Every structure is written in C-alpha cells, then in structure tokens.
C-alpha cells in the first residue's frame, strides 16, 4: 500500500513539472503596488440601546503626547505632509472661530462638539479654536489644549490640526482642517 502512495506522489510531481516546464519566474521589482488600501469594515452589534450624545463619545483617555510650549500638530493617517504644511501656512482662510479659554473641560467638550457639527453643516474647511495657554490654570499647564487635541483626533470630519500662527493666536489657538463636504 505504501508503494502505491509513493507512485501516486511521483506521478503527481511529474504532471506538475510538465505543466510548469514553460513557466518563467516574474522579475523582481523593488516597488510595492497597492491596489486597494481601504479596509472594508465589518458591521458590529450595538452595545448600547440608548443613543450616545456626541460629547459623550469623545474620550479623555486617548493620549496625545504634547509638552507645554511645543508647536504640535496632527494629520490623519494617509494625509499628505503637504496638506498639513498648507494648513500651517494659511492656505485655507479661517471661516469660523470658537473661543474656549476659561471654560471647564466638560463645558469645552460640549461647545467643541456643537461648533464642529455647525461647521460641518455650513461646509467650512478651516476653523480656529482658541483654547488659551493655560496661564491661569493650576500648575500653569494648558489643560484644554491637550484635551482638545485628543477630542479632535476622535472626530472623523477632522483631517488635520496644528498650532495657529502667532498672528492667529499662536500657542493659545489651533487651526483645524475639516473634510470637504460633497
């Protein structure tokens, strides 16, 4: 019986080699071609039966490392560096402003959500949020600056953000680039 198996394997190997006789290996290319980089999402069951308000969906537990005084920025993965550079240089005019300095964290979150929703409805591309420098807060740290950065990263309509130019508020303000409405 074992002899029959080895004959069968030899016959299959001979057939395979005969079929592959005229096949040439593909040339080695040093580039990778990405055909479709989008991953299809899998629908998930809803865990909550009651609707979650937009401000409740923004977590304070997502960390964006920012040190006081740093000129910080964020660009959604896949966005070109040129887009962030254009935002920094004022390519898009500021279409609306929100002044949050002096607000509590909870009130600032509510105001930011309402502001972003209104900006999306109005089809704005570039907006400014003034968060203050934290000079009057405990330990003189920019609490709202860090939280706003974390919240913005969680909003799908936010493509990028960066610290405003000195004439637009500098370290106490942030410029936000929103998705173009279709």
Instruction: Report residue 154 CA to chain centroid gap.
Output: 7
| Domain annotation covers residue 7 | no
Domain range spanning residue 171? 71-178
Q: What mean pLDDT comes out for the span 121-137?
A: 86
State the burial class of residue 5 (Cβ atoms within 10 Å of its Cβ: 0-12, 13-18, 19+): exposed
Here the CATH number for the domain that contains residue 89 is 3.30.1370.110
Rounded Cα distance between 179 and 123, Å, is: 9
| Domain annotation covers residue 18 | no
What is the number of structural domains in the chain?
Answer: 1
pLDDT in tens, 95-122: 999 999 888 889 999 999 999 999 999 9
- With a cut of 90, say whether residue 60 has pLDDT above it: no
- With a cut of 80, say whether residue 136 has pLDDT above it: no
Question: Distances from the Cα of 138 to the Cαs of 121, 125, 135, 141, 164, in angstroms?
Answer: 36, 34, 8, 7, 24
- pTM of the entire predicted model: 0.63
| Domain annotation covers residue 159 | yes
As a whole number, the mean pLDDT across the chain is 79
Instruction: Report residue 41 CA to chain centroid gap.
Output: 16
């Amino acid at each position: 019986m074992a002899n029959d198996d080895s004959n069968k394997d030899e016959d299959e190997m001979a057939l395979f080699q005969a079929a592959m006789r005229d096949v040439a290996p593909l040339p080695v290319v040093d580039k990778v071609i990405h055909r479709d980089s989008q991953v299809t999402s899998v629908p998930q069951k809803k865990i909550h039966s009651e609707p979650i308000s937009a401000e409740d969906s923004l977590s304070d537990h997502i960390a964006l490392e920012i040190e006081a005084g740093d000129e910080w920025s964020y660009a959604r993965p896949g966005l070109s560096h040129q887009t962030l550079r254009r935002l920094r240089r004022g390519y898009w005019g500021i279409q609306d402003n929100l002044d949050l300095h002096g607000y509590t964290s909870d009130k600032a979150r509510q105001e930011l959500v309402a502001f972003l929703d209104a900006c999306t409805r109005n089809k704005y591309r570039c907006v400014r949020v003034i968060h203050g420098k934290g000079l009057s807060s405990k330990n003189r740290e920019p609490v709202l600056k860090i939280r706003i950065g974390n919240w913005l990263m969680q909003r799908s309509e936010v493509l990028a953000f960066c610290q405003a130019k000195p004439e637009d508020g500098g370290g106490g303000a942030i410029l936000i680039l929103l998705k173009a409405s279709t």
